[in-house]
Structure 1
Amino acid sequence: MQPNESLSTNVSRAGAEPARVECCEHKHSQPDAASPFRASLPADHVLATLMDEHQRILGRLNRLEELLRSANGATEPPGDAQIQEIHEIGGQLIGVEPHHQREEQVLFPVLIALGIEGPPRMMELEHVELRRLKHSIRDKSEEMLATRGDHWRELARDARELVSMLRSHIHKEDEILYPMAFEEIAVESWIPMKARCDEIGYCCQAPASEVGT
C-alpha cells in the first residue's frame, strides 16, 4: 500500500501470522471471532487491545441504537429511565478517550514516520467529530434530565450520527488500518509502543496487575 492511499484500499497480508511480542500484561475482552486478523494476534499485542476495546464500544453502540429504535415515532420524548441510560452510555463512550489517545500519540505517529500519512490523518480527523458527538449526547441528555428541556430531536439526531460514524470508523481501523500497521511496523518497534500505551492507560478493561485487587 502506498503511503497516502485511501482507507478503502484493500490491504494484503491482513491475516499473516504475527511475530510473538512477549511484552504485554493486559486482560482483554473477548476478541471478535469473525476477524481472522484479530485471531492471528497475540492476546497482549497493542493492536489486539485496540480491537478488543472496539468490541466493547460496539456493544454500547448496539444498546444506544436499541434505545433510539424503541423511541422511534413516539410523539413524546422517552421517559427519564431511557434518557438516563442514554446519558450513561454517552459518558461511557467519552470514557474511551485513552483508546483514541493511544492511537493518536503512539500508533499514528509511527505510521506517519514511515510515510503512511493519509489513513492516520483521516482517522484523527474523525476522532474530532466523534468527540463532539459523544459530548453532545451526554450534555443534551443531562440537560433533559435536569430541566425537562425538550432536546430530544437534537439528541436523537446526534446519537444516530454517532452510531453510524463510529461503527464505520471501527470497521476501517479493524479491517484496513490495523492490518496495515501490523504489516509495516517492525516487530521490535511494538515493545516501546506498548510501554507508551501503558503510560497513557486503557479503557474497557483492566491491566492484569490490577485484576483481583
Structure 2
Amino acid sequence: MSAIEISLMEQELISAETGITFEDVMQLCDVHANLFKNAVQDVEVADADKPGHPVRVFRDENLALRAALLRIRRLLSRLAGASEEDAAAIRQGLTRQMSLLGQFERHYQRKEELFFPVMEKYGHTAPPKVMWGVDDQIRELFQVASQAIASLPEADLSEASKAFEAFAAEFESMIFKEESILIMLLLEALTQDDWIQIASESDAYGYAIIIPHEKWVPERVAFDASASAESDLADPNTRVIETPDGQVTITFTPKATSQTVVDRETPQAFGLGHLSVQQADMILNHLPLEITFVNKDDIFQYYNDSVPADEMIFKRTPSQVGRHVELCHPPKFLPKVKAIFSQLRSGEREKFEMWFKSESRGKFVHVTYAAVRNAAGEFEGVLEYVQDIQPFFELGSDYYRDLEKPEGK
C-alpha cells in the first residue's frame, strides 16, 4: 500500500464518529508503524537523493543521529569498570555526544514547521498531529536521559543507561516512521514547488549535526513555444502538442474577471492620519516586536518581517501563513491555546501576558496575546506580540539620552 493510504486510514479513524481521538492513535503509533513495516510502497522522485534536497538532508541527519546514539551506547558500556582517569575522559565524551544528539530538536522543528504545513495543505492533518505528539514525548525522554547522564558519577550508571535506552528506543522508532511512512507520504503528495519552498526556509531552523554544503537547484522544465505549430503561436491561449500518432490541440479560455489593483504607494486614511500600504508595511517591520495576527476564523494570517527568521524568538516562515492556529502548536499545548482564544473571543479577557527566561539564548521573553475588536466591538482576531526585554534589565542607569556626550569624551 502507499503512504497516502495509511494517512487516509488515520484521517478516517480520527474524523469519523468512532470516539477515537488522535491521542488514541498516538498510543498505537508503534503498533501501526510495525504493522506496515516492509509493506509501504517505495516512491521514486527525481532529485530526492541529490545533495541539498530536503529529503536527502533529512535522511543524512538521521544517519548522523544514529551514529551519535551508537557512540553514546559504547561510551556508557565502557564507563562501567573504567579507571577514575578514564572515567573522567569518557564522561567528557558523553557530554559532547549528548550535545550533538540534542540537535535532533532542529530536525524535529523543520519537520513540524515546514513539512507538516504542506501536508495539511493537501488534507493530511492526522499524521502530523499524531507524529508531533510523539515528538514531544521523545523530547521529554531526552531531557530525563540528559539529566541522568549529566549527573554522573554521582548518579547511578545503570539508571542513567536505562533512561538513555528508554529515549533511544522511541527515537529509533521515530526514525523508522519518518523514513518509511512520512517521507514516502511527502514524496507522493508534494510538488517540486513545495520542495523548493521547504529548501528555501530550512536554514531558519538549522540542521542536526550535518550541514548541507551544496544548494539543491532543481531542473525546471518549461514549455517551449518554438516547438509548437505556427497556428499555435498565433493564439496565446492555444497549444498544439506533437505525439507519435498526431497532434493534440488544447484551447484555454480565461474567465472574464475584474481585478482590483492595490495602490501601495498613495497615502490613504489610516488610523488618525494617512499612510500608504507600503509605509504601513515598513513601519510594522521596523517595530522591535515579533507580531503575529490570527483572524476571527482562527487562521494564521500575517506576521511582520522585523528580523531574519533565524533570529526570531518564535520562528515563523511563509509556509505557516494560512494554517489553522491549532495546527501551529504542539498537541500538548492545544488546551492552553484553545482556552486563550476562547476567553479573548468571548470578551472574558482582553489580554493575556506571559514571560520566561531563555538561558540558552540569553533572552528574557515577554509575550502578549490581545483581542482585536472593530469599532462595533466585534471580535476580529488575536494579535500576538513578542519582545526580548533582557536589554531593559541591563540598563546601566536611571537616566540616559543618546544625544548627550558621554562623560570623559
| Percent identical residues | 22
Residues 175-205 of structure 1: CA distance to partner in whole angstroms, max 9, x if unpaired? 2210111111122211111111122222222
- How far has the Cα of 1:50 moved from its partner? 0.5
Whether 1:157 aligns to 2:162 is: yes
1:141: which partner in 2? Answer: 149
Which residue, 165, 177, 180 being the options, matches 2:182? 177
Whether 1:19 aligns to 2:46 is: yes
Whether 1:121 aligns to 2:150 is: no
* 2:155 alignment partner, SS class: coil
Q: Is the 8 A contact 1:47 1:178 kept in 2?
A: yes
Q: Is the 8 A contact 1:106 1:193 kept in 2?
A: yes
* 2:154 alignment partner, SS class: coil
1:87: which partner in 2? Answer: 95
Residues 79-125 of structure 1: CA distance to partner in whole angstroms, max 9, x if unpaired? 33333322322221112321111001000222123222333223212
Whether 1:47 aligns to 2:47 is: no
Q: Name whichever structure is richer in strand by fraction.
A: 2
Larger Rg: 2
Whether 1:64 aligns to 2:91 is: no
Residues 146-187 of structure 1: CA distance to partner in whole angstroms, max 9, x if unpaired? xx4233233111111122221111111112210111111122
Distance, in Å, in 2 between the alignment partners of 1:3 and 1:84 is: 47
Counterpart residue type for residue 193 of structure 1? I
Distance change (3 Å), C-alpha of 1:68 and 1:4: farther
Q: Name whichever structure is richer in helix by fraction.
A: 1
1:190: which partner in 2? Answer: 195
For the aligned residue pairs, the C-alpha RMSD in angstroms reads 2.8
Distance, in Å, in 1 between the alignment partners of 2:202 and 2:141 is: 25
Which residue, 184, 203, 209 being the options, matches 1:204? 209
Q: Is the 8 A contact 1:4 1:117 kept in 2?
A: no
Unaligned runs of 5+ in 1: 21-39
Unaligned runs of 5+ in 2: 11-31, 215-409
Please, what TM-score do these two structures have when normalized by structure 2? 0.41
Q: Is the 8 A contact 2:69 2:168 kept in 1?
A: yes
After superposing the two structures, state which structure 1 stretch, 81-90 or 154-163, moved more.
Answer: 81-90
Distance change (3 Å), C-alpha of 1:126 and 1:86: farther
Distance, in Å, in 1 between the alignment partners of 2:134 and 2:123 is: 20
Distance, in Å, in 1 between the alignment partners of 2:103 and 2:112 is: 16
- By relative contact order (CA 8 Å, sep 6+), the higher-ranking structure is 1
Please, what TM-score do these two structures have when normalized by structure 1? 0.74
Aligned residue pairs total 185
Residues 4-62 of structure 1: CA distance to partner in whole angstroms, max 9, x if unpaired? 435444432x242x134xxxxxxxxxxxxxxxxxxx62222111101000000000111
